Amino acid sequence: MKLVNKISLYNILLSAGVIIIGGILLFLLLDHLIEAETKHELRHYTRLVQEQIKAGADWQIIAKDVDLEIELIEQPDPRYLEFFFDETETEAIPFEGPPSHHGKGPPPGAFPPVGHPTPGDEAAPHASPQTIPIKRLTIDRQINGQWFRIKFGREIIGVGKLINTSLIAFASILTLAIGALFFGNRLLFKRVFRPFYDSLERLESYKLSDKEEVAFPPTSTEEFAVLNQRLAYFIRHSQREYTALKEFSENASHELQTPIAIIRSKLDQLLQSPNLGEKELSGIEDIQQTLQQAVHLNKTLLLLTKIGNQEFSETELIDVKVTILHFVDLFSELIQMKELDLTLDLADYTCAANPYVLDLLFSNLIHNAIKHNVKGGTISIRLTQGLFQISNTGRELEFPTEQYFNRFKKGSQQESSSGLGLAIVKQICDVSEYEISYQTDKQEHRLSVRLQGD
Amino acid sequence: MKVLVIEDQKSLREDIVAYLSDKQIVCESATTFSEAEEKLASFDYNVVLIDLMLPQGNGLDLVRMLREMHSKAAILIITAKGSLEDKVAGLELGADDYLAKPFHLAELAARVSALYRRTQFDGSNEITFEEFRIDIHSKEVLVNDQRLVLTQKEYELLLLFFSNKDRVLGKNTIAEYLWGDYVDTNDHFDFIYQHIKNLRKKILEAGARPYIQNVYGMGYKFNTKPG
């Protein structure tokens, strides 16, 4: 995930959390406020009614107010001696034109009808079974010596409605916030993190074998400046180490060639001495054999360095099929000796490459498949447009697959193996930008090389 | 045949000279660039071996000099670098062959013989020895005028023996000569045995004497005076 997306995601999650918690808090607060306000209004209005009755108004006329129920009672209910609130519900009347409200106090529309619907209304509630919550106040009061029970109801804004409204409001805020964060972060990143991405880009294209130093663009952000400075330091440092190491291995290999050449020619000469016994001859041959391994090792290491240095950069058009067939032929005796079943499926394919490098690649791959095979095993070589695949039977890998291409990595059974063949293959693929992959299924091994397509 | 070996390494130079010198080959040597220049200017050689890395100069300059002199000598360049550029540069300047250090003396001898044959433009694309006649062009081998049918490897082996008569050739030398760099010589000892066995059998069947001899199972020798 990209940094900008990651940060945007966290930002958005955080803001969403804050907005949701804020929304819930606001909702609770509103709910509480509405409740308190409703109670206050009910109390106030009931007091007005009481005063009006006390002043001699006809309570029956007052009671005609839709929201109001007044009845005469014999005995007060102890529950109702104080203001008693409860909640009830009424079925909503479908809204058909403005309902007419008579009476005093509350503004029209604020007090929808309370109580049971009249028989004539029955059809409508059935069609719309929605209910409206009502906050109701009941009080028993003695006015002018008579006990009255006053019930007064008032529609409260339903929790559901409140939730709906807040949800819509907060969802809009959330959407806006997310959008703003998403695009805002992008813009911010483009500006603030510019030097960071510039450095990253330079690092991505950097190779240790590059001769030039990496130049990081100057930046006013302190952290990035420090980062660039440290990066430049480490790169300089590893470049120096790399060059030194490379030169060392190159020189070591070069300088070894001459003494090895002398030893070899001395041995060749020694072999010609008259009257050598079997013991001496076998000793000389053993030395020759060991020296041969040293020669091979030295040559291979030198080769690895050279390939790494891209000394084989001149390319020409090569018929890959012909190259493969050449090495199959070169190794035909080995294949016969191991009684290997060879399957070839080669398409005509030419590619631009260095002939020497391509020879090395295929000779090592094919030789590897023979060498690590079992007697009577199989080898299958496939060449399609730009893809070379070689699979062979063989012993199960004794080390993790990731170490497959490592230098000097070899199974315990392979005494004569240098362990460098696949390192060369890997080096060639790295330098030539061929994609190489290795798969194994216990005793079946497969190497695929995607040659640069044209 | 006259051969000049230009090599600054004393031991190597001495070994090469000792190995190549026989009844038919006169082998001289030069240690330094100036000595080489002098000898090349004064004498004619059939084959010149040039080590590219000389203390006072680049062997490539000697190649250039020889070609400017229109010398007919075949040039074999030797280098420890084994780098492709040297090889290409050398061959472009007019060298005829290239050998990377470390090499087997037997291989060097085979290359020198091959180069020598190439410079003999009097149509002698033939190697003759006792009952053998080999046509280099057609790769035809005759023993007592009877055609010998050889495989590619057997033919190459025979050529190696012809350029290294009476020398002991170790299995390593033979393996490297026959299969080259790409091959792990270890794998091939069994094949050498097979090829030699077949070659010997074919030669004997054609009525030639048993020239190819086994040396304690370590190597082989083309004995010009089989007992």
DSSP letters of A64-81?
TSTTEEEEEESS--GGGG
Mean pLDDT by 10 residues, chain A (454 residues): 84 88 87 86 85 83 78 85 81 52 43 44 48 82 84 76 81 87 85 86 80 81 90 89 82 82 90 86 88 84 81 86 92 87 92 89 90 90 92 84 72 62 87 88 88 63
- Are A258 and B12 inside 8 Å of each other by CB? yes
Which residues share a beta bridge with A73? Answer: A147
Strands A387-393 and A378-384: antiparallel
CA distance B163 to A156: 117
Chain A interface residues (partner B, CB cutoff 8 A) = 254, 257-258, 260-269, 271-272, 276, 278, 281-282, 284-285, 288-289, 292, 295-296, 299, 302, 306, 311-312, 327, 330-331, 333-334, 337, 356, 359, 363, 367, 371, 416-418
Dihedral pair phi/psi, residue A206, rounded to 5°: -85, 135
Is residue A424 within 8 A of residue A360, CB to CB? The reply is yes
pLDDT of residue A412: 57
State CA A384 to chain mean position distance: 34
Closest approach of A377 to chain B, Cα-based (Å) = 17
Question: For residue A67, what are its two tokens?
Answer: 């929201």
Sheet-wide strand order for B97-100 = B26-30, B2-6, B47-51, B74-79, B97-100
pLDDT of residue A142: 85
pLDDT of residue B183: 64
Tell me how far CA of residue A441 lies from CA of A374, A396, A444, B108, B129, in angstroms: 15, 8, 5, 46, 57
A interface test, pick of B21, B54, B181, B194 with most A CB neighbours within 10 Å? B181
B18 CB neighbours in chain A (<8 A) are 269
CA distance B15 to B29: 11
State CA B138 to chain mean position distance: 19
Q: Could you say which DSSP state residue B165 is in?
A: B
**Which of A370, A387, A300, A375 has its CA nearest to residue A328?**
A370
**With b meaning 16 or more CB within 10 Å and e meaning fewer, what string describes B72-85?**
ebbbbbbbbbbbbe
Question: For residue A276, what are its two tokens?
Answer: 């050598």
B residues 97-156 closer than 8 Å to A (CB): 101-106
* Residue B48 half-sphere exposure toward CB, CA atoms < 13 A: 28
B84 CB neighbours in chain A (<8 A) are 311-312, 356
pLDDT of residue A420: 80
Tell me how far CA of residue A396 lies from CA of A389, A406, B187, in angstroms: 19, 17, 22
pLDDT of residue A102: 44
Question: For residue A251, what are its two tokens?
Answer: 């020189």
A265 CB neighbours in chain B (<8 A) are 11-12, 15-16, 19, 102, 104-105
pLDDT of residue B64: 92
Would you call B216 an interface residue with chain A, using a CB distance cutoff of 8 Å? yes
The DSSP secondary structure of A100-166, one letter per residue, reads: P--SSSSPTTSS---SPPPGGGTHHHHH---EEEEEEEEEEEEETTEEEEEEEEEE---HHHHHHHH
Number of DSSP helices (H) and strands (E) in chain B, helices first: 8, 14
Closest approach of A313 to chain B, Cα-based (Å) = 11
Give the SS3 label for residue A451: coil
CA distance A309 to A24: 66
Q: Could you say which DSSP state residue B225 is in?
A: S
Q: Any idea which residue has 């035909």 for tokens? A: A332
Would you call B26 an interface residue with chain A, using a CB distance cutoff of 8 Å? no
- Angle at Cα B186 formed by Cα B182 and Cα B190, nearest 5°? 110
pLDDT of residue A304: 83
Residues of chain B above pLDDT 70, percent: 93
Q: Any idea which residue has 């209004």 for tokens? A: A41
Would you call B157 an interface residue with chain A, using a CB distance cutoff of 8 Å? no
Which ipTM score applies to this complex?
0.85
Nearest to A285 among B80, B170, B187 (CB): B170
Sheet-wide strand order for B140-143 = B126-129, B132-135, B140-143, B146-148
* Residue B38 half-sphere exposure toward CB, CA atoms < 13 A: 8
- Are A268 and B215 inside 8 Å of each other by CB? no
pLDDT of residue B220: 92
Q: What is the pLDDT of residues B152-187, one digit of tens each?
A: 889 999 999 998 988 889 888 898 888 876 666 666
In B20-96, the DSSP E strands lie at: 26-30, 47-51, 53-54, 57-58, 74-79
- Are B184 and A356 inside 8 Å of each other by CB? no
CA distance B4 to B15: 13
pLDDT of residue B49: 95
Neighbours of B155 (CB within 10 A): 17
Instruction: Report CA torsion sign: A395, A398, A402, A408.
Output: negative
Tell me how far CA of residue B120 lies from CA of A35, B46, B77, B117, B123, in angstroms: 122, 9, 19, 5, 7
Is residue A93 within 8 A of residue A117, CB to CB? The reply is yes
pTM over 0.80, yes/no = no
In A366-405, the DSSP E strands lie at: 378-384, 387-393
Q: Residue B20 class from Cβ within 10 Å (0-12 exposed, 13-18 middle, 19+ buried)?
A: buried
Neighbours of A357 (CB within 10 A): 25
pLDDT of B6 strictly over 90: yes
pLDDT of residue B186: 66
